[in-house]
Amino acid sequence: MKRSIFVVMLLLSVFIRTGFAEDKELRIFIWSEYMDERKFSADFKKDTGINVKIDVYENNEDMLAKLQAGGVNQYDIIVPSDYIMSTLLAQKLIRPLDQTKIPNLKNVSPQFRNTPYDPGNKYTAPWQWGSVGLMYNKNKVSAEAVKSWSVIFDPSKQAGTFWLMDSVRDTMNLALLYLGYDMNSTKPQEIKKAAEMIIAAKNSRNCRGFKPGVGGKNDVDAGAAAMAIVYNGDAMRAVMNDPKRLGFVIPKEGGEIWVDLMAIPAHAPHVDAAHKWINWILDPKRGAMLSNYNRYATPNQASLPYIIAKDKKLDEIYPGPDTMKRLHFTQDLGSANRLVDEAWTKIKSH
Amino acid sequence: MRNCHPIIKILALFTVWFLYLPLMGVAVCSVNSARDGWVWKGFTLDWYVKLFDNEWILNSALNTLILAVVSTAIATVLGTVLAIGISRFPWGRKTNSFLNMMLNIPVVIPDIIMAGSLVVVFGILREVSSMFDMGMIDMIIGHVTFQIAFVALVVRSRLALIGQDVEEAGRDLFASNWYLMRKVMLPLMMPGIVAGAMLAFTLSLDDFVLSFFLSGPDSQTLPLYIYAAVRRGVTPQIHALSTLIVLVTVVLVVGAERLSKKEVA
């Protein structure tokens, strides 16, 4: 009798989902070094009483793989980039936002409210936006040399050791731009040429390999490499600490401009807490705190008065009209995604 | 080694050197006070001390330990039972060779294939119950799956060493099965069981691929932490952590080997 009760209890505990602690916890899955994790967790806990747990990733594809493998019912907030939105929507990995719970959406700048990847902010609210460029050590590489991407992609013009970025679209985009093609090209010959060029660069003596996210920036900062393909905010954090030694530039062939968004996975366990987080981030002072820490550009126009005045004048963070002409948005390539994936596999294995 | 051709000796030494030089390099870097590069700046244990301040590392270490201990305990019991079953039951010849092959599969199969198949299995099981969400339970089950084979192999070889004579003598003297197991077989098998357990523990500690695919937000282990940290930029703290893990692994493996060599009295 006792044994059968025990068995029944065991079976029951297997089938009951843990429903309590619904809104006492929030699980965030975000890029590393993207916010002051300790401060924001403590502040959010003080403001709402919700515990924050943070997990980090280094590129969009890692995040997508984790979601597909089961993370879709474990994380409450993810921070995808604009181009991966169509994949997330097609695979039904994110849920629509309840905009009544996010009154601070009105603070968002108009150009981020009706975007081609998410019209009307149905699924996402913008987090930060920025660009992809080249970070370099001024003592080892001249400012003249980094005016062109040839300093990475042309073995005869490489001025020092460098890291390529371990991110499919980011590196392919730059290769296509350097070759003079459309960054979002779907033509097989152009993709093939870009892949071959990246393979040649990767196999050159100066290339140290691929590192995702903040890896390249950390290595240039530590002196382990002379150059790296980086995201502008990461680079500027290091550059502003040591402006005589480090620099960031977007070479003349151009670079990529991107917007990172906050989204809620389809089966998130704490949906209410997730909405609270999004609303909390879109608060004007909080948004400014975020951008002042990670040195990216804020999509929140109500935050602009609180941003460090010097940052607002920097072309590297808030690009002027000339630089904007050189920056292009990444778009989802639809069925041509397969071509780029195959090219990337070839690049990694040759 | 004495009767070997000198070229074979040189090759053997070179292989050992080739295998261990990188590990020694990491160990040297971990006590070097220079933050980056190969320049020797001075001996320091600072990086080891800083390890204990880092919350994420301590958390990961705890998870790794819990995972290793629990999965080793389960796998040792199951593996021992499996070994006894395979070697003491009079299977037919074909069944015997089939069982032998099945036992070897988890040992030979590439980690990533096993990890991929487990992801699919847990995906199906997740439809039934959310207990199988990515996390500690998944990882324990995954680790037990490959550890059983290793434990069973080690215990089986120990059983072959012991031989059936002592058991048969016990049965002749009217010993019951449970008495036989408790007083005769287990004490004789103990070195094999302990060796198998140590091997399983080491494998679980060092496992990366399975943990990578099956871990959830709360269950990051040390190998996963090191992998993520290296992608963000190598600091000497990681050298210190790696050296510690290598030391623990070496101690366990040497211990396992010593125990499994113990002669039958």
Q: DSSP letters of B72-138?
A: HHHHHHHHHHHHHHHHHS---HHHHHHHHHHHHHHHHS-HHHHHHHHHHHHHHHHHH-GGGSTTHHH
Does residue A299 contact residue A110 with C-beta atoms inside 8 Å? no
Is the pLDDT score of A19 beyond 50? no
Which pLDDT score is estimated for A5?
60
Using one digit for the tens of pLDDT, what is the confidence trace for A48-94?
A: 999 998 888 888 988 998 898 888 888 999 999 999 999 999 999 99
A236-248 as b/e: b if 16+ CB within 10 A: bbbbbeeeebbbb
For B133, which of A14, A70, A217 is closest by C-beta distance?
Answer: A70
* CA distance linking residue B202 with residue B255, whole number of Å: 11
Question: Residue A4 — very low, low, confident or very high, per pLDDT cuts 50/70/90?
Answer: low
- Mean confidence (pLDDT) of chain A: 89
DSSP classification of residue B215: -
CA distance A211 to chain B (A): 6
| CATH number assigned to the domain comprising residue B217 | 1.10.3720.10
Interface check for B3 against chain A (CB to CB < 8 A): the answer is no
Measured between beta carbons, the chain A residues lying within 8 angstroms of B123 are: 69-70
Q: Higher model confidence: residue B46 or residue A125?
A: A125
Is the pLDDT score of A108 beyond 60? yes
Number of domains in chain B: 1
pLDDT by residue, tens only, chain B of 265 residues: 567 789 999 999 999 999 889 888 888 888 887 766 667 777 888 888 888 887 778 888 889 999 999 999 999 999 999 999 998 888 889 998 999 898 899 889 998 999 999 989 998 888 888 778 788 899 999 999 999 999 999 999 999 988 888 888 888 988 888 888 888 889 999 989 998 998 999 899 889 999 988 888 788 898 888 888 887 776 788 888 888 888 888 888 788 778 767 654 4
Rounded alpha-carbon distances, angstroms, from residue A121 to A83, A109, A262, A272, A303: 15, 12, 10, 17, 19
* CA distance linking residue B114 with residue B105, whole number of Å: 10
CA distance A222 to chain B (A): 7
* CA distance linking residue A219 with residue B36, whole number of Å: 9
Which pLDDT score is estimated for B36?
66
Q: Which of A66, A165, A217, A270 to mutate to test the interface with B (most CBs of B within 10 A)?
A: A66
Q: Which of B35, B41, B63, B231 to mutate to test the interface with A (most CBs of A within 10 A)?
A: B231
Q: Write the class of the CATH domain A2-129+259-313.
A: alpha beta
Residue B191 maps to a domain: yes
* CA distance linking residue A185 with residue A176, whole number of Å: 8
Q: Could you tell me the two tokens for B167?
A: 């058991």
Inter-chain CB proximity B37 and A223 less than 8 Å: yes
- Give the count of Cβ contacts less than 8 A between chain A and B: 65
For A53, which of B36, B134, B217 is closest by C-beta distance?
Answer: B217
Measured between beta carbons, the chain B residues lying within 8 angstroms of A27 are: 217
Does residue A115 contact residue A259 with C-beta atoms inside 8 Å? yes
- The answer for A204, left when phi > 0, alpha when psi is -120 to 50, beta otherwise, is beta
Where helices occur in chain B by DSSP H, the ranges are 6-30, 46-51, 55-88, 93-108, 111-128, 136-162, 165-172, 177-179, 186-206, 209-214, 222-232, 236-260
Measured between beta carbons, the chain A residues lying within 8 angstroms of B134 are: 69-71, 74
* CA distance linking residue A44 with residue A39, whole number of Å: 8
Interface check for B109 against chain A (CB to CB < 8 A): the answer is no
For A222, which of B129, B218, B233 is closest by C-beta distance?
Answer: B233
Task: For residue B43, give the 3-state DSSP assignment.
Answer: strand
Inter-chain CB proximity B232 and A215 less than 8 Å: yes
Q: Which of B54, B60, B130 to mutate to test the interface with A (most CBs of A within 10 A)?
A: B130
CATH 3.40.190.10 maps onto chain A at 2-129+259-313, 130-257+319-349
CA distance B157 to chain A (A): 37
Inter-chain CB proximity A214 and B119 less than 8 Å: no
Measured between beta carbons, the chain A residues lying within 8 angstroms of B55 are: none
Is the pLDDT score of A8 beyond 60? no
Which pLDDT score is estimated for A14?
45
Residues linked to residue A78 through DSSP beta bridges, in sequence order: A29, A263
Inter-chain CB proximity A211 and B35 less than 8 Å: no
Residue B15 maps to a domain: no
For B231, which of A17, A18, A58 is closest by C-beta distance?
Answer: A58
Inter-chain CB proximity A74 and B217 less than 8 Å: yes
Inter-chain CB proximity B37 and A215 less than 8 Å: no
CA distance A46 to chain B (A): 21
Residue B203 maps to a domain: yes
* CA distance linking residue B241 with residue A172, whole number of Å: 35
Q: Could you tell me the two tokens for B68?
A: 């290793």
Does residue B158 contact residue B189 with C-beta atoms inside 8 Å? yes
Task: Average the pLDDT over A276-290 and give the result.
Answer: 94
Task: Average the pLDDT over A131-147 and give the result.
Answer: 91
Pairing of β A255-265 and β A124-137: antiparallel
Residues linked to residue A211 through DSSP beta bridges, in sequence order: A165
Measured between beta carbons, the chain B residues lying within 8 angstroms of A218 are: 232-233
Task: Average the pLDDT over A287-308 and give the result.
Answer: 93
Rounded alpha-carbon distances, angstroms, from residue B150 to B82, B108, B247, B256: 11, 11, 21, 12
Full domain range(s) for residue B246: 53-260
Q: Which of A18, A31, A63, A218 to mutate to test the interface with B (most CBs of B within 10 A)?
A: A218
From the number of C-beta atoms within 10 Å of its C-beta (0-12, 13-18, 19+), residue A35 rates as: buried
For B231, which of A14, A55, A211 is closest by C-beta distance?
Answer: A211
Rounded alpha-carbon distances, angstroms, from residue B156 to B21, B192, B253: 35, 8, 18
Which pLDDT score is estimated for B2?
65
B34 to chain A: nearest residue by CA?
A: A222
For B217, which of A75, A212, A214 is closest by C-beta distance?
Answer: A75
Inter-chain CB proximity A33 and B35 less than 8 Å: no
For A69, which of B213, B232, B233 is closest by C-beta distance?
Answer: B213
* CA distance linking residue B223 with residue B208, whole number of Å: 6
Which pLDDT score is estimated for B183?
87
* CA distance linking residue B35 with residue B50, whole number of Å: 13
Is the pLDDT score of A2 beyond 80? no
Supply the angle between the helices A168-178 and A188-203 in degrees, to the nearest 10.
100
Inter-chain CB proximity A73 and B130 less than 8 Å: yes
Indicate the Cα dihedral angle B50, B56, B59, B64, nearest 10°: -90
Q: Could you tell me the two tokens for A313?
A: 């004048």
Using one digit for the tens of pLDDT, what is the confidence trace for A207-230?
A: 998 988 888 898 898 888 899 999
What is the pTM assigned to this prediction?
0.79
Q: Look up tokens 């870009």; give the residue.
A: A194
CA distance A322 to chain B (A): 32
- The CATH architecture assigned to A130-257+319-349 reads 3-Layer(aba) Sandwich (3.40)
Interface check for B225 against chain A (CB to CB < 8 A): the answer is no
